[in-house]
Amino acid sequence: DQQVKQNSPSLSVQEGRISILNCDYTNSMFDYFLWYKKYPAEGPTFLISISSIKDKNEDGRFTVFLNKSAKHLSLHIVPSQPGDSAVYFCAASGTSGTYKYIFGTGTRLKVLA
């Protein structure tokens, strides 16, 4: 049972345009969500997070949006740069009882120069 889903395995975007990566979750106990970025042969690195009490969190070129009623979140990268090409993982955790991070399957982003 995949509790965190990323339905797009890959995405290609032109440099300078917006990249939108999507994530859905099924467990209503999740109330904290994170995005990680992973380059080949490296471990995932934390990018940005959002608590369920917010619907948006912004950090430079990266913005995460959360729609609790739809159990959906998205990561926007504006403007996209070739160095953003990586695999992006969505993760979810709970602040009461679900003390572990559950990850999605990842989306491979390719930013074309």
Partner 1 sequence: NAGVTQTPKFRILKIGQSMTLQCAQDMNHNYMYWYRQDPGMGLKLIYYSVGAGITDKGEVPNGYNVSRSTTEDFPLRLELAAPSQTSVYFCASSYSPGNVDTEAFFGQGTRLTVV
Phi, psi (5° rounding) for residue 3?
A: -80, -25
* Burial profile 55-85: b = 16 or more Cβ within 10 angstroms, e = fewer: eeeeeeebbbbbeeeebebbbbbeebeeebb
Alpha-helical segments (H) within the chain: none
Residues in contact with partner 1, counted by CB under 8 A, come to a total of 28
Q: Please tell me whether residue 80 binds partner 1 under the rule CB under 8 A.
A: no
Binding residue (CB under 8 A) for partner 1 from 60, 70, 83, 96: 96
Report d(CA 111, CA 113) in Å as an integer. 7
Which secondary-structure segment (H or E) carries 99? none
- Of 8-27, binders to partner 1 (CB under 8 A) are 9
Which residue number, 11 or 102, has a Cβ lying nearer to partner 1?
A: 102
Which segment (14-22, 28-36, 61-69, 71-79) binds partner 1 by CB under 8 A? 28-36
Which residue number, 22 or 98, has a Cβ lying nearer to partner 1?
A: 98
What are the residues binding partner 1 (CB under 8 A)? 6, 9, 32, 34, 36, 41-46, 49, 51, 89, 91, 93-96, 98-106
